Amino acid sequence: MSQIQINSFQDYQEAYQKSIENPSLFWGEIAEHFEWNKKWDNVLEYDWQKPETKWFVGGKLNITENCLDRHLATKGDQTAIIWEPNDPKEATQHVSYKELHSRVCAFANVLKNNNVKKGDRVCIYMPMVLELSIAVLACARIGAIHSVVFAGFSATALAARINDATCTVLLTADGGFRGKKTTPLKDIADEALKECPSIKRTIVYQRTHQKISWNTKIDTWWHEELKKVDDDCPAEIMDSEDMLFILYTSGSTGKPKGMVHTCGGYMVYATYSFQNVFQYKNNDIYWCTADIGWITGHSYIVYGPLCSGATTVMFEGVPSYPDFGRFWEICEKLKVTQFYTAPTAIRALAKHPSEFVTKYDLSNLKVLGTVGEPINEEAWHWYDDNVGKNNCPIVDTWWQTETGGMMISSLAGITKDKPTFATLPLPGIQPILLDDNGNELTETKAEGILAIKYPWPSLARTIYGNHERYKNVYFSAYPNHYFPGDGALRDAQGNYRITGRVDDVVIVSGHNLGTAPIENAINEHESIVESAVVGFPHDIKGNALYAYVITYNNVEENEDLTNEIRTLVAKTIGAIAKPDKIQFVKGLPKTRSGKIMRRILRKIASNDISNLGDVSTLLNPEIVKSIIDEKL
């Protein structure tokens, strides 16, 4: 697989040039390095008016043959996954490719025994145990579509996702360990399933051994099911454009969006980008600290690394437990060579004495990475000085759930990094900057709205069950371009720096949160008339949430109400979405057409009131002053 690696800057320039001049030739040659049951007829067919994108059209494959079977002859005994428990007193586990293959096949047979067929949707709501990776791969093995829901989400959020995809089977655990906390996953799932008629079976992995309730009609134990099967399970042959998985991401309006990724293009791009950005070499130990509940975990814990025959680390816990040295203790212990985490984690760790880092031997580290939000200068340098010892390139990787893989990033040691810049596009990626009217900014040095003007293999093909919304959100703002929702600037060398969202999505601790669903949750409260939620800068989380709420006439502001609002948000969406600040207001600044002027609210929340712009066009300009005066 290392044949698809770029080895020098010149190599990068040539690959990039070729990928632009002849994308089909370029990607066809990359795809030759994978296992296909049948070769594609056409590399790319697309029409972004519709919009429709197809890669490796007519090709047949199973991604798990690429992740597992292919390595058995050459790397069967090599470690595929190193699993590191939440509690350092529990043993680390090393799972070889051979063993992983066998365990995936066995669980795939469990799914079959429970009536899961190709095309069925399976919801996975699990902690970061090995079985989560096994479950994901087992679904792919038989052509079932996995929908992983992050185990920090509430019952309401879980139910909404199960129902949107009409999943028939739920895979969960009794509970999950994260730091000092135990999350009662089965209880939460039980609560969710009251609203989910499509679920016919829940397979429960025993992790915490806590007491749970049991519904004999639906529930069955994971370990009991495994006793009934063998580990022989031929891979289902999939079409390149068959769905591989659905993964939900928040939108700026109500419902989460079930992003659909397909088999062939996703496999090729996740693997190609993994190898090139991280420059993975034989015997390296690669660790991405993300949760598999996010796209980062899908592409860069499971699929990209395993397709590359890499050794990938899966960590159950959190960076702060048992203390703030946990990440570095693991890096030393496992001799980690590539380390990939989020700016929010870096900022949180940077608050603590540097001894938490310096006491560990990090000399095996070669590459550091970040993802999820812009990384500020200070955090970048802390990471570079303390973790990388100024000796490791830092890849700042810009991408999205929708893009399936890293889009703009330096390639470690090959192209130059630059603090706070994601830098250059990967081969095959054609970013451009637009002004507000959608005109391309052709000067190299420019700032504007980021867009992508040509298809790449791992683009999400649709929003599950709602192609119209897909078209509206991503392909309508600037016709014939993919619109990611971010702003960016470009320096004279062509390096991109992502400046943040240009829509109503706020990134809190690296989690992409739509403000609309949070507002909807708050508005459910009987005392609340209306609300507006915006982000404001926060030292550690990057952004935190600020909610402006209007209560009914006779309801006074009080602490109980504030707490109830927070609890309601946590229950509806998850604890991560709880507003840090809640301000009771008499009205919200609105345009004459009734749209809340979030721009003004953002400025007030950020204490940046010197330049509010012209408020006179508002329906209710006087409200702005009263909100400022009454700000806490």
- Which positions lie near ligand WT7, rule CB under 6 A? 249, 294-296, 371-374, 396-401, 422, 484-486, 498, 501, 507, 512
Q: Could you tell me if 173 and 186 are in contact, meaning their C-beta atoms sit under 8 angstroms apart?
A: yes
Q: Which is nearer to ligand WT7, 258 or 485 (CB)?
A: 485
β-pair partners for 262: 243
Q: Which among 412, 422, 418, 419 is positioned nearest to 392, based on CA atoms?
A: 412
Q: Which among 146, 153, 239 is positioned nearest to 521, based on CA atoms?
A: 153
Q: Which is nearer to ligand WT7, 135 or 498 (CB)?
A: 498
Q: How far is CA 472 from the centre of its chain?
A: 21
Q: Which among 146, 132, 19 is positioned nearest to 83, based on CA atoms?
A: 132
Torsion of CA 133, 134, 139, 143, to 10 degrees: 100
Q: Is the dihedral of CA 407, 408, 409, 414 positive or negative?
A: positive
Q: Please, what is the minimum distance in Å from the beta carbon of residue 542 to ligand WT7? A: 9
Instruction: Provide the 3-class DSSP secondary structure of residue 449.
Output: strand
Q: Which is nearer to ligand WT7, 410 or 551 (CB)?
A: 410
Q: Which is nearer to ligand WT7, 97 or 398 (CB)?
A: 398
- Label residue 542 left, alpha or beta by phi (over 0 means left) and psi (-120 to 50 means alpha): left
* Integer CA distances (angstroms), 534 to 446, 572, 618, in order: 27, 18, 18
Q: Please, what is the minimum distance in Å from the beta carbon of residue 394 to ligand WT7? A: 11
Q: Please, what is the minimum distance in Å from the beta carbon of residue 373 to ligand WT7? A: 5
Q: 594 exposed, middle or buried (CB, 10 Å; 0-12, 13-18, 19+)? A: exposed
Spatial CB neighbours of 567, under 8 Å, sequence gap ≥ 6: none
The Cα–Cα gap between 186 and 125 comes to 9
**Checking DSSP bridges between strand 367-371 and strand 311-315, what pairing results, if any?**
unpaired
Q: Please, what is the minimum distance in Å from the beta carbon of residue 396 to ligand WT7? A: 5
Q: Which is nearer to ligand WT7, 56 or 399 (CB)?
A: 399
Q: Please, what is the minimum distance in Å from the beta carbon of residue 564 to ligand WT7? A: 28
The Cα–Cα gap between 470 and 295 comes to 18
Q: Is the dihedral of CA 134, 140, 146, 149 positive or negative?
A: positive
Q: Which is nearer to ligand WT7, 43 or 160 (CB)?
A: 160
Q: Which is nearer to ligand WT7, 26 or 300 (CB)?
A: 300
> Which amino acid does the sequence have at 276?
N
Q: Please, what is the minimum distance in Å from the beta carbon of residue 501 to ligand WT7? A: 5
Q: Please, what is the minimum distance in Å from the beta carbon of residue 364 to ligand WT7? A: 24
Q: Please, what is the minimum distance in Å from the beta carbon of residue 533 to ligand WT7? A: 17
Residue 36 in tokens: 């296909």
Q: Which is nearer to ligand WT7, 156 or 296 (CB)?
A: 296
Spatial CB neighbours of 101, under 8 Å, sequence gap ≥ 6: 68, 69, 72
Q: Please, what is the minimum distance in Å from the beta carbon of residue 421 to ligand WT7? A: 9
Q: Which is nearer to ligand WT7, 489 or 628 (CB)?
A: 489
- Buried (b) or exposed (e) across 441-463, using 16+ Cβ within 10 A? beeeebebbbbbebbbbbbbbbb
Q: Which is nearer to ligand WT7, 101 or 598 (CB)?
A: 598
Q: Please, what is the minimum distance in Å from the beta carbon of residue 294 to ligand WT7? A: 6
Q: Could you tell me if 368 and 387 are in contact, meaning their C-beta atoms sit under 8 angstroms apart?
A: yes
Instruction: Provide the 3-class DSSP secondary structure of residue 360.
Output: coil
Q: Which is nearer to ligand WT7, 249 or 262 (CB)?
A: 249
Q: Please, what is the minimum distance in Å from the beta carbon of residue 342 to ligand WT7? A: 8
